């Protein structure tokens, strides 16, 4: 900084007063003794105001610094009237250090001579500590990582020893060269590489695993980060690369990848012989040991698969025959259940018909009884009609007698009118009319009497017929009651038969379900046996896809080619015997138990073989 040479004079203190509110301001005489200082000085350096006169400029510095040529040049320049600016470490009264950015100004008197020195100091301890810490971190990183610095256009500015060792270059060989000379030509000419530098030019961080070319075209792999350093104006000043050599790790991973590729293709015969570094070599050893274990396991699986195949064929044969017998039994039970279902339906229908007949008989009985009651009421009504007829006949007789008496009276009146002559002629006419009326009344009464007589005879006949009808209906009611009792007995018997057949049908249905379930289980077992045989063959096919070592491959081939064992032939004979004898009792080992035992033998079971047990259907 270029400080103007001017004479502050007596206003120098006033001129520094505004800065003294935030900066440390202290004045010295030309011998370096402190004259005065502001409050910030006392606060930051821990000095009491009364001690200011006893302090010197050199006392604020470490002894080695105050005795150095740089310190002498700094102070002598100030005394000579030259402003100075420096970053100095001062000692506080408590003994600890503080970093100050110091601007020293010579103060001249009226004659233009330097009379005292004024220092304006800014406390930069925090910034200095942070900077020193950052430098320490960078130094620590640089001790074990490769560090390269590039300009914004990719020119190499610097490289530390680790980077030079990794690339096998001298510093003079790399500084000034472009980054593209360290990458493969195809990548350097690609759009991806151009985009990489454009991204860094925008100040964006880039990290990853990169392939680079060392001296002589040797390919090295780096785990690296490119870190743009941006200035105050936002422009990229330079790019710092921190890198770690991962070439051995990448090559080891690639070798293991090739081994896994061969393993994926079924080749178990090759091992990784090239040693890795101390950290990764255990992986190579474990990989080879895993191949040994897998190869041995596959050889054993192949041997076991051949034994399982033989046992599966035997189980499949027995399961097929058992499935056939179970299927036949299930068909018979199903037919029986169907027949019983039809019979149960017929009996149930008969019971329902009998119940309907019983209801009809009951209704007929009720109708007959009701008809009998009606007939009895009709007979009573007929009797009453007959009595009414007799009363009417009596009344008609009275009317007839009245008509007869009227006729006599009219006759007498006519006689008397004749005797009266002309005076009784009109009375005679009236008497004649009354006589005629009496005669007609008598005739009508006689006709009514005749009709009543005939009606009474007919009513008597009707009463007799109705009585006969009532007697017949009583007989019918008695017979209907007898029929009702018989029909009720039939209904009860039909219900009992239907209930019994329903129980039998339910029992047969339960047996049918159990048999069908057993048949399904046997079918599933048979299907499982067939699937097991197919899977065993598929397993042999899969095992054939693996390429084993010569000794193990020969052993596996020989064991897979082994034919059926003598036990299998004996078991086939036992199964044929079971099929021919049907369900007859025989003292032979259960085929199911024999199959289970042989499967256990095929898988290498070493337990004691169970003793032969009498054949039981429960074994199935």
In terms of domains, do 165 and 109 share one?
Answer: no
Give domain status of residue 327, yes or no: yes
Give domain status of residue 230, yes or no: yes
Instruction: Find the domain containing 603 and state its range.
Output: 564-619
Question: Which pLDDT belongs to residue 513?
Answer: 80
pLDDT confidence bin for 96, thresholds 50/70/90? confident
Model pLDDT for residues 173-225, shown as the tens digit of each residue: 999 999 999 999 999 999 999 999 999 999 999 999 999 999 988 999 999 99
Task: Give every CB contact of residue 397 below 8 A, 6+ residues apart in sequence.
Answer: 445, 449
Give domain status of residue 84, yes or no: yes
pLDDT confidence bin for 565, thresholds 50/70/90? very low
Question: Which pLDDT belongs to residue 362?
Answer: 78
Residues 60, 82: contact at Cβ < 8 Å?
no
In terms of domains, do 574 and 516 share one?
Answer: no
In terms of domains, do 347 and 404 share one?
Answer: yes
In terms of domains, do 498 and 579 share one?
Answer: no
**CATH of residue 516:** 1.10.287.950
Q: Which long-range contacts (CB under 8 A, 24 or more apart) does 18-23 make?
A: 19/120, 23/120, 23/121, 23/122
| Total Cβ atoms within 10 A of residue 612 | 12
Give domain status of residue 480, yes or no: yes
What are the angstrom distances between the C-alpha of 185 and each of 180, 213, 217, 224?
8, 10, 11, 20
> Could you tell me which residue, 548 or 149, shows the higher pLDDT?
149
Question: Which pLDDT belongs to residue 552?
Answer: 60
In terms of domains, do 511 and 376 share one?
Answer: yes
Give domain status of residue 138, yes or no: no
Q: How far apart are the first and last CA of the chain?
A: 108
Distance CA 615, CA 600 (A): 20
Give domain status of residue 292, yes or no: no
Position 56 pLDDT exceeds 80: yes
Distance CA 375, CA 473 (A): 8
Question: Which pLDDT belongs to residue 592?
Answer: 39
Give domain status of residue 485, yes or no: yes
Model pLDDT for residues 390-446, shown as the tens digit of each residue: 788 788 888 878 878 887 887 787 787 777 777 777 777 777 778 788 788 878 877
Residue 601's Cβ-side half-sphere holds a number of Cα atoms within 13 Å equal to 15
> At which of 63, 97, 125 does a domain end?
125
Residues 366, 495: contact at Cβ < 8 Å?
no
Question: Which pLDDT belongs to residue 5?
Answer: 38
In terms of domains, do 466 and 335 share one?
Answer: yes
Model pLDDT for residues 11-53, shown as the tens digit of each residue: 444 555 666 678 889 999 999 899 888 888 888 888 888 888 8
Model pLDDT for residues 302-342, shown as the tens digit of each residue: 788 778 878 888 887 887 787 787 778 777 777 777 777 77
In terms of domains, do 495 and 408 share one?
Answer: yes
In terms of domains, do 525 and 571 share one?
Answer: no
- Mean pLDDT over each residue of the chain, to the nearest integer: 77
Residues 90, 74: contact at Cβ < 8 Å?
no
pLDDT confidence bin for 138, thresholds 50/70/90? confident
What are residue 11's DSSP bridge partners? Answer: none
Distance CA 148, CA 215 (A): 16
Residues 334, 519: contact at Cβ < 8 Å?
no
Percent above pLDDT 70 for the chain? 84
In terms of domains, do 520 and 568 share one?
Answer: no
In terms of domains, do 183 and 323 share one?
Answer: no
**CATH of residue 170:** 3.30.450.20
Position 585 pLDDT exceeds 70: no
**Tokens matching residue 125:** 């301890």
Give domain status of residue 290, yes or no: no
| Total Cβ atoms within 10 A of residue 141 | 15
Instruction: Find the helix or strand (DSSP H, E) in which 68 lies.
Output: none
């Amino acid at each position: 900084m270029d400080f103007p040479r001017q004479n502050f004079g007596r206003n120098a203190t006033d001129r520094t007063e505004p800065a003294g509110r935030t900066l440390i301001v202290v004045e010295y005489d030309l011998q370096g003794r402190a004259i005065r200082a502001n409050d910030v000085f006392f606060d930051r350096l821990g000095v009491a105001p009364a001690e200011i006169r006893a302090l010197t400029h050199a006392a604020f510095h470490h002894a080695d610094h105050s005795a150095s040529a740089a310190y002498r040049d700094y102070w002598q320049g100030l005394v000579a009237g030259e402003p100075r600016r420096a970053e100095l470490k001062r000692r506080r009264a408590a003994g600890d250090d503080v970093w100050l950015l110091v601007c020293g100004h010579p103060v001249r008197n009226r004659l233009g001579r330097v009379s005292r020195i004024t220092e304006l100091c800014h406390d930069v301890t925090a910034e200095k500590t942070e900077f020193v810490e950052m430098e320490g971190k960078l130094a620590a990183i640089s001790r074990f990582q490769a560090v390269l610095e590039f300009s914004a256009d990719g020119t190499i500015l610097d490289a530390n020893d680790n980077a030079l060792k990794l690339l096998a270059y001298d510093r003079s060989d790399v500084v000034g060269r472009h980054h593209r000379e360290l990458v493969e030509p195809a990548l350097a000419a690609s759009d991806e590489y151009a985009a990489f530098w454009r991204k860094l030019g925008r100040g964006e961080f880039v990290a990853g695993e990169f392939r680079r070319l060392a001296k002589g075209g040797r390919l090295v792999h780096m785990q690296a980060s490119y870190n743009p350093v941006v200035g105050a104006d936002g422009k990229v000043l330079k790019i710092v690369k921190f890198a770690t050599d991962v070439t051995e790790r990448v090559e080891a991973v690639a070798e293991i990848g090739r081994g896994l590729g061969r393993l994926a293709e079924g080749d178990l015969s090759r091992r990784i012989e090239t040693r890795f570094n101390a950290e990764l070599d255990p992986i190579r050893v474990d990989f080879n040991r895993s191949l040994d274990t897998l190869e041995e396991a596959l050889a054993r699986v192949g041997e076991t698969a051949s034994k399982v195949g033989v046992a599966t064929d035997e189980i499949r044969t027995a399961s097929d025959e058992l499935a056939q017998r179970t299927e036949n039994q299930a068909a018979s039970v199903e037919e029986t259940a169907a027949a019983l279902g039809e019979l149960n339906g017929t009996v149930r229908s008969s019971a329902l018909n009998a119940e309907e007949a019983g209801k009809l008989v009951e209704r007929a009985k009720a109708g007959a009884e009701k008809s009998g009651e009606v007939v009895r009421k009709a007979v009573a009504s007929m009797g009453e009609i007959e009595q009414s007829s007799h009363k009417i006949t009596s009344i008609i007789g009275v009317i007839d007698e009245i008509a007869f008496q009227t006729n006599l009276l009219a006759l007498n009146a006519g006689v008397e009118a004749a005797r009266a002559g002309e005076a009784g002629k009109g009375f005679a006419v009236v008497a004649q009319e009354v006589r005629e009326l009496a005669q007609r009344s008598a005739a009508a009464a006689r006709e009514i009497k005749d009709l009543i007589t005939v009606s009474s005879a007919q009513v008597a006949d009707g009463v007799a017929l109705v009585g006969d009808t009532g007697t017949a209906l009583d007989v019918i009611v008695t017979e209907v009651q007898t029929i009702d009792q018989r029909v009720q007995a039939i209904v009860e018997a039909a219900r009992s038969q239907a209930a019994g057949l329903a129980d039998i049908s339910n029992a047969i249905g339960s047996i049918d379900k159990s048999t069908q379930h057993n048949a399904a289980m046997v079918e599933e077992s048979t299907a499982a046996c067939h699937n097991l045989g197919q899977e065993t063959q598929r397993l042999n096919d899969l095992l054939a896809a693996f390429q084993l070592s010569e000794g193990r491959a020969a052993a596996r081939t020989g064991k897979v080619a082994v034919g059926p064992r003598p036990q299998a032939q004996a078991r086939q004979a036992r199964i044929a015997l079971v099929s021919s004898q049907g369900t007859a009792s025989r003292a032979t080992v259960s085929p199911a138990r024999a199959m289970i035992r042989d499967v256990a033998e095929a898988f290498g079971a070493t337990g004691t073989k169970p003793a032969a047990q009498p054949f039981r259907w429960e074994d199935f």
